[in-house]
Amino acid sequence: MIRNIIYAILLGVGMAACLSQREENVEDEVGESSVGPMTETTQNTINPDPASFVIQENRVGELEIGAPIDSLLNQIPAGYTITDTTLMQEGNQSTAYLLKPQNQDKGILIEQNCTANCNIWRINVMHPEFKTTRGIGIGSKYSEVQQQHPISTVTLADGGFVAVSNTAGMSFVLDTSELPQNRIASYTPETVPANTLVKRILIY
């Protein structure tokens, strides 16, 4: 009993030390104001398999658009942690969940829509090891995306500069740090520089 109490205290101290850093990571990746994680739940195992989170239309692994949030919270994948966080969306606060492999900074941000019940609304993939069925992921070049998932349109949206693939049912958020900022709004699917990198993938 005493050993369990000591372990719980040490775990709480460790979590408190890392949560503020996790908040900064989420804000940097999503490009939205984050009010910080509230609680974290962990499922323990060794070497979680990123291949279990294949990115497809309407889903990432077992995470499916429209699925109840409760099913996510009650079935955390082994080797992963899930953290509550609050996002600002169009001036309103919204609870989201950061699911990631233990001891890693990046993962999947799961946003919800709540009416009578809360369901998965959008899945924001930030982990570089999670790939589409055709091998596209964070760090892939725009030219590689075009070859595997033809781009229908590019546009500035709330998530950033996105390349939308209607056939794949997903959007690729592009890194604009190397692009001339005064030209971004004028790009078309044919004129986006080939070496522009993917920094996030959105499924909704």
131, 55 contact by CB (below 8 A)? yes
201, 137 contact by CB (below 8 A)? yes
Query: The dihedral of CA 50, 39, 86, 118: what is its sign?
Result: positive
Task: Please state the domain extents for the chain.
Answer: 2-125, 142-203
Side-chain-side CA neighbours of 84 within 13 Å: the count stands at 10
Which single residue is written with the structure tokens 């900064």?
A: 24
In three-state secondary structure terms, 95 is: strand
Q: For residue 18, count CB atoms less than 10 angstroms from its CB and return exposed for 0-12, middle for 13-18, buried for 19 or more.
A: middle
**Structure confidence at residue 14 (pLDDT):** 43
**Structure confidence at residue 11 (pLDDT):** 39
CA dist 33 and 20 (Å) reads 14
**Structure confidence at residue 48 (pLDDT):** 60
CA dist 65 and 120 (Å) reads 5
**Structure confidence at residue 151 (pLDDT):** 97
Low-confidence ranges of the chain (pLDDT < 70): 1-48, 89-90
**Alpha-carbon distance values, 63 to 71, 73, 75, 134 (Å):** 9, 11, 11, 18
Which pTM does this prediction carry?
Answer: 0.78
Alpha carbon 129 to chain centroid, angstroms: 12
159, 30 contact by CB (below 8 A)? yes
For the residues of 20-38, what is the DSSP string, one character each?
HHHHHHHHHHH-S-B----
**Structure confidence at residue 93 (pLDDT):** 84
**Structure confidence at residue 87 (pLDDT):** 87
